[in-house]
Amino acid sequence: MLKTNATPAAELTDTAEHARRVASRAIDEGQALASQAASKVGESMRDLRDGATDAARRGVESLSETATAAQRRLTQYARAAKRHASNEPLKSALIAAALGAVAATVVLALLRRRR
């Protein structure tokens, strides 16, 4: 480092060289830290992407299962309604007429409300 017998110019040169080495080391360490941070961010992004993909896949599977179950239930209701209509045609016709009247009343009420 600094020599006691050195000239002021030599001491200044030594000091400048020392400062350059310290700065160079600091830059190298900063670049290494930045590289590590970028790597960790990349890993975190991959983990987030994988988690989101898994969640979406589970959601689609759940939705598919729910749709299948709903389709089965609707099929059962349709069969039951068909049986009921063939067993009691007059009662079924009256129920259908009543439901039609209720639906018409709801539609008319909604149309009036819009005006």
The pTM score is 0.44
> Distance (Å, rounded) from C-alpha 30 to C-alpha 36?
10
Tell me which residue range forms the domain holding 76.
8-114
> Distance (Å, rounded) from C-alpha 25 to C-alpha 31?
10
> What is the pLDDT at residue 98?
94
Contacting residues for 103 by C-beta, under 8 A, at least 6 apart: none
> What is the pLDDT at residue 4?
58
> Is residue 67 one of the residues assigned to a domain?
yes
> Is residue 80 one of the residues assigned to a domain?
yes
> What is the pLDDT at residue 10?
84
Q: Model confidence at 73, in pLDDT bands (50, 70, 90)?
A: very high
> Is residue 3 one of the residues assigned to a domain?
no
> Is residue 1 one of the residues assigned to a domain?
no
Per DSSP, the three-state class of 6 is coil
Which tokens in the block code for residue 88?
């009691």
